[in-house]
Amino acid sequence: MATKRRPRTQATRSGKRIELTDRDLEIFRALRRYRYLSSTYLHAFVGGASATRLKERLGNLFHEGYLDRPAVQWEQANCRYRPAVYECGAGARRVLAEAEDADDARTFLGAGSHKQFLHSLMICEMLASIELAARARPSLRFIAWPEILQRAPADTRTNAIPFRIPVPSGGFLVPDGLFGLEYGGPQKSYRFFALEADRGTMPVSRTGRSQTSLLGKLEGYRSIIAQQRYKAHWGVPNLLVLTVTSNAGRLARALQGLEGAGGSPALLFRTATGLQLKTPVPSLLEAPWERAALPPIRIDGADQ
């Protein structure tokens, strides 16, 4: 007799006890680091010969209370055509707490629900894509946010919102992500990056300076970089800003706006759609990034 298929959107316990494996623990740790990851990213992190078998295991972990599938994902028009997105459930959080593992979160995403779920997911997918691509390079090491914070000045480490940086003109700027890359070789070198996920929900520009816009946020980065405020706040020696836009039209308008403002060699751009980000995108590390009125550059160390 065929086993009745359990619903994708609602956990339905079978009552069967699950024996957790080391691979299950790696799944839980990956989700603690990134908050939201689909099955394709989890397979890239934990490996295994069969992606199908991993999906089945994720399904069992979901239905037995170890993992959650954020309900908001089912509200999206294309949800039936995307891999299911997971986060740690009560069971996974309990297991990780018992293991007393250190929290090495890659993002600033809190434990509560997120109104801008797709934006939060895009942040996780971009950071995970870059880390996965760096893992495949023996000469590269991905430097996560906790390591940056550990080496930051004391005032930043004790700050309730340490990833928020003051802007010279007033107010604060909060990146979508912060990470670094260590480049191996005869002499190690380092680059640090602020990451911006632009899904097209914010206007590229506005007539009023007090209104939020993509170019307005980038102008804040330009002033922070010009005055090297990242050194005093985060203790990093340099800072590049990676903006991933939703389409080529927005990218062109952003580059044009920056050219008119004098440009900035530290502001880098790429496009990546939600469809492309369904699976890891190694080109976020390996392909050149565009700049306003300047040649593209790579961040994987190939141009150093």
Interval 16-24 mean pLDDT? 90
Interval 205-210 mean pLDDT? 59
Interval 142-166 mean pLDDT? 95
Range from 6-20, 79-93, 172-186, 222-236 carrying the lowest mean pLDDT: 6-20
Q: Is 0.85 surpassed by the pTM of this model? A: yes
- pLDDT at res. 5: 72
| Cα 102 to Cα 252: distance, rounded to the nearest angstrom | 42
DSSP state of 107: S
Left if phi > 0, otherwise alpha if psi is -120 to 50, otherwise beta: which for 171?
left
- pLDDT at res. 45: 97
Interval 24-42 mean pLDDT? 96
Interval 50-71 mean pLDDT? 94
Q: Which residues contact 76 (CB under 8 A, 6 or more apart)?
A: 82, 118
Strands 267-271, 240-245: pairing kind: parallel
Give the type of residue at 185.
G
Interval 250-279 mean pLDDT? 88
- pLDDT at res. 3: 54
Q: Is the pLDDT of residue 275 over 90?
A: no
> What digits encode the pLDDT tens for the residues 212-226?
788 888 999 999 999
Q: What are phi and psi of 224, to 5 degrees?
A: -65, -45
- pLDDT at res. 140: 96
What's the mean per-residue pLDDT of the chain?
89
Q: Is the pLDDT of residue 1 over 50?
A: no
- pLDDT at res. 9: 75
Q: Which two three-digit tokens encode residue 215?
A: 């170019």
Interval 234-248 mean pLDDT? 95
- pLDDT at res. 207: 56
Q: Is residue 105 helix, strand or coil?
A: coil
Q: Is the pLDDT of residue 265 over 50?
A: yes
- pLDDT at res. 2: 46
> What digits encode the pLDDT tens for the residues 95-120?
999 987 777 889 988 776 667 899 99
Q: Is the pLDDT of residue 234 over 90?
A: yes
- The answer to whether the beta carbons of residues 78 and 125 sit under 8 Å apart is no
